[in-house]
Every structure is written in C-alpha cells, then in structure tokens.
Structure 1
Amino acid sequence: MSLEEKWILSQHPCFNSAVERWFDRYPLAVAAGCNIRCHYCSRVYDCMNDNLPGRVSKTLSPREAFKKLHNAQRQSERIRVVCFNGPGEPLANKETLDTLERVHNHFPQLIKCVSTNGLLLEDYAEKLYAVGVRAVTVTVNAVDPALGRKIYGWVFYNNQPYQGISAAELLLNKQLAGIREARKRGILIKVNTVLIPGLNEEHLKQVAVVVKQAGAYTMKVIPFIPQAELAQLPATSGKMLHQVKRELSTIIRQTI
C-alpha cells in the first residue's frame, strides 16, 4: 500500500470508520441524471437504498457547489473529504467533473471521493485521477447477470439502451473493468451492496469474492428499504444484516 493510500485511510470515514470521530465528509450534489434503472430506486422520494450521507433531491451548479464548500471550509477544520454521490449518477453528469476540477485546483489537500454505479468508471478513470479523485465507491449488487436483471430494469450506455440480461451483463462487465482501471491508478475502491432479502442475500459471498479479486479494498452492506418495483420484498432485518456482514468479513473488509 502506498503512502498516499495510507494517508486516505487515516482520514476518510467511509474507508475507516475509526476516524469518524475526528474528520468529516462534505457532500456536493451536482448530478441530477442517471444512466441506469434500479428496481429498488424511486426518484419520486429519492433513492432510499444505497443512501449515503449527503444524498439530497436538489442539485447545485458547479459554482454553487464550490461556494458552499468554500464557506463550509471556513467554518470547520474537520472536513477532510468532499464527496460526489448523487442524487443521480455523478459520472453521467458533466457538472461532476467541472466541480471536481474547480475543487481540486483550490483545495488540493482535500480527499475527493465519487460514488458511482460503475457503468462509466472505466471510461473516466484517468480523468478522475487527473482532477484529484483518490477514492471511489462502486455499487455492485450482483455478479450474476441472471440475478442482475431482476435488480436493474435498463442501462443506457453510449447513447444506446440495454434491457434484460444484456443490460445486466454490460453493467457488471463495466463495473469490474472500472474497478480494475481505477486501482491501476492508485484509487482506493469501496464497494456498496444493497442486501435485498429474497433476491441476493445468498449471493453476497460471491459478490465479495469477485469485487475483491477486481481490486476493492473494502465493502459496505446496506439494508434494503422496500420501494419501487421491489416494494413487495421485506426490508433487511438487523439480524440478517449482522449475520451477512460477519460472514463476508472473512472474505473482504467490512465498513460500518
């Protein structure tokens, strides 16, 4: 592990929960549009699943986002990480790179972190590194396209829509390729996985093995909240969440 990676782990609460008492993440919501359709996501109420700190409805312009961060920096010395995580897909919105470039030029000392569904990560890995991104979170809910098609409705890539098994295959292949490309550049990878009872709870061990082999450093299992097309499924119980995380901890580091 490089010195830069050790530095990130010493200050980034998403990768090391032990430092959360000292350091803060600051979210910047500049991405409105999304390029995939998750069956557990309802944009009417925001995506309640994969719901990280800072997930909001209203987006900011790059200028507004920079001003907001600048003011926050003046008020708090605890901010170490600036996060780009929605409410849409950051890499599907040009405002993300525009804001990242401005933030990196003025605050090179801050850790830049992007949360993504991974569809465009391979394509943007070099650009992300150039604007200071050193940590990326990728949401991977399945590594079997037959299961993935039950979680995702469609994927839009290179101005072409994909559905069914072809959409799930494309998304998975791009996610794993993106993780590998990001790791080649020294970007730390965390994988988020939504634990959906009755759908992927028995599959998460396979997910853990595959994403670790691709280069993921840590994994966070997120409880499922029933809504949208998957509203008929039960919510993730605390007992199930604890049990799954304990089992997966033998394969890959687990983040709280």
Structure 2
Amino acid sequence: MSSNTIKVNKDDKFKKLSNIHPCLGGEAHTKYGRVHLPVSPTCNIQCKFCKRDCNEDEDRPGVANGILHPKDAVATVKKALELCPEITVVGIAGPGDTLATGYAIETFRLVHEAYPDLVECLSTNGLLLERYADDLYEAGVSTITVTVNAVDPKIQSQIISNVILDGKVYFGEEAAKILIDAQLRGIKKISELGVIVKVNTVLVPGINDKHIEETAKTVKEAGATLYNIIPLIPQHDLSHVPAPTCQQLDNARLEAEKYLEVFRHCKHCRADACGIPGKKDLSSLLYGKRNDLETFSHG
C-alpha cells in the first residue's frame, strides 16, 4: 500500500471517528460519551507536574477512585452503557501509564470481543508505544493519544525527572532523549498501522511555551493527525510555575495550527471519567462515591 493510499485511508478514518469520538471532534464532544477504565496502576516516567494517587476526593492528573481489574472491564462497560447509552468510546488513560503494565492490552482484548462496535482509545506517554503497537492494533485500538511535551531533550529534561526502561533508571537529558526518540518511533509505527494519533502537550510557561511550533511540526512528520494543548496545573515539582494564561494558550494553539488541526474542547478528564464530557460525570455511579468536582487528567 502506498503512502498516499495510507494517508487517504487515515483521513477518511479520522473524519468518521471525529463524528462519534468526543475527544476528536467538536460536534461529537457534546453528543457522545466515553468511559475510562482505570486499569493501569504504575508509570515508567516521572513528570515533574504529576503525582499519581487513588482517592475519591482529588481531581487532578494521575488520579482515579481505584484500580479496576481487567477481568471486571466488560461488566463495567455494560454498566456504563446502561448509565449513559450515548457512550461510543472505551478509553484507558491511567492513572499510571497504560503501557507500563500489560493490563490495558488485556482489557482491550476482552472489551473488543464483547463490544466490537465501540471505539477503543488509549492514552500513553509513548515510551513503549513502538514495542506494543502491533498488540494494540490487534486488540482493536483505533485511536491513540501520546503526551509529547517537547522534542528537544534540553526542554524535556525540565519537565520529566526520570525514565525507567527495562529495569534501568535514566535521568536528565539522557532520559529526555530516550523518551522523545521512543515517542516519535511509536507514533510513526502506530500511525503506519492506520491508527489515528492525537498528541497532547502540557503547556508549561517559561519551559515549553516557545517550543510548540517545533513540537507540532515534528509530531506531524512522525504521523500525528490531531493536537491538543493542555494548561499546566501547578503542583509537585512544578508547583512554583504559574498556570498559562488564556492568551498563552491561544498563542500556543495558533502556533500548532500551522501544522496540525487543534482540538479545543478538552474537558481534562480523570482516569475514571464516565459520560458525555462537560455534562454530569457518572464515575461515582460507576465506580463508587466521589465528590462532584471538576475533573482533569493529562492523559
């Protein structure tokens, strides 16, 4: 199959998916729902803005009410569809990285067998995306979100603390380069399989806010189709950095739009979100009681 044929097929696939996937298309965002299955407990990188946890009260990146076992995923999806028949997407977005363990792939295989018509969507930091691209494709995954915060190791090293790969811990620019190279290889491979790739970037003022155009250009060349810019929540090692202003976010989106379509409707969902984005979150009914607060996940 030629590269032009692959591009045409991907463009057509993206158009169809964006009509029913609330995290790909603006119109779908208000009509269709998603359920996130929090089956991934651990992570293989440490971002300086992230502190993972399981609780009912906090609404921030890396948090879910609890960890779901893959064997319970099908029953959970069934219940989610009863709560919200508008759900079209089954996503896995944490609370750790979805490829740091094998639980996400196992879950998708089970869900795909039971609900083959639902869109399967994975969010990952991309460190192991190339390694598991074929497995994800075979499990029915059709959309991937990769969080790429920089494509320059000097900048990336200011956003991550370390990378753990095959039992070894890496730090500094070495860790950053390992992550960036792996992300771009992973995006290229999964994109060539026909999977739609959206890239998330957490906008960190003073660190990567002048780096968005280069990042967008690079991930576009690797095979990404859509771009999403997320404002930093000041916390953990970056608690001293102010959240970006609306003007900074708008400027970054304009830079990214030189190369990729930008998704502007993100509601920053938790790893256990359920329902139509922007409407009442049903995760407390699905997974258990939690405070009815605004939700957020870097995915």
Report the TM range for the smaller structure's normalisation: over 0.9
My pick for the range that moved more, 62-71 or 120-129, is 62-71
* Pick aligned residue for 2:139 from 124, 131, 136: 131
Mapped pair 1:16 → 2:25: yes
Rounded to whole Å, the distance in 2 between the matches of 1:13 and 1:212 is 21
1:5, 1:186 within 8 Å by CA — same for their partners in 2?
A: no
| 1:166 Cα deviation from its structure 2 partner | 1.0
Mapped pair 1:240 → 2:240: no
Q: RMSD of aligned C-alpha atoms?
A: 1.6
Cross-structure match for 2:60: 48
| 1:226 Cα deviation from its structure 2 partner | 0.8
2:53, 2:95 within 8 Å by CA — same for their partners in 1?
A: no
Rounded to whole Å, the distance in 1 between the matches of 2:79 and 2:53 is 30
My pick for the range that moved more, 113-122 or 17-26, is 17-26
| 1:44 Cα deviation from its structure 2 partner | 4.9
Cross-structure match for 2:48: 39
Q: 1:85 to 1:44 in 2, by over 3 A?
A: closer
Rounded to whole Å, the distance in 1 between the matches of 2:18 and 2:30 is 14
1:91 aligned counterpart, secondary structure: coil
Runs of 5+ consecutive residues of structure 2 not aligned to the other structure: 1-7, 265-299
Cross-structure match for 1:95: 103
Cross-structure match for 2:220: 212
* Pick aligned residue for 1:202 from 176, 193, 210: 210
1:137, 1:189 within 8 Å by CA — same for their partners in 2?
A: yes
Cross-structure match for 1:110: 118
1:155, 1:171 within 8 Å by CA — same for their partners in 2?
A: yes
Q: Give aligned-pair identity as a percent.
A: 37
State TM-score, norm by structure 2. 0.80
Rounded to whole Å, the distance in 2 between the matches of 1:44 and 1:25 is 22
1:243 aligned counterpart, secondary structure: helix
Rounded to whole Å, the distance in 2 between the matches of 1:231 and 1:76 is 36
Runs of 5+ consecutive residues of structure 1 not aligned to the other structure: none
Deviations 1:102-131 (A, max 9, x none): 000000000000000000000000000000
Deviations 1:147-193 (A, max 9, x none): 11111111011122111111100000000000000011000000000
1:29, 1:65 within 8 Å by CA — same for their partners in 2?
A: no
1:73 aligned counterpart, secondary structure: helix
Please tell me the residue identity of whatever aligns with 1:17: G
Please tell me the residue identity of whatever aligns with 1:144: D
Instruction: Tell me the number of residue pairs that the alignment of Structure 1 and Structure 2 aligns.
Output: 252
2:22, 2:31 within 8 Å by CA — same for their partners in 1?
A: no
* Pick aligned residue for 2:170 from 159, 162, 168: 162
Rounded to whole Å, the distance in 1 between the matches of 2:19 and 2:137 is 20
| 1:39 Cα deviation from its structure 2 partner | 0.7
2:91 aligned counterpart, secondary structure: strand
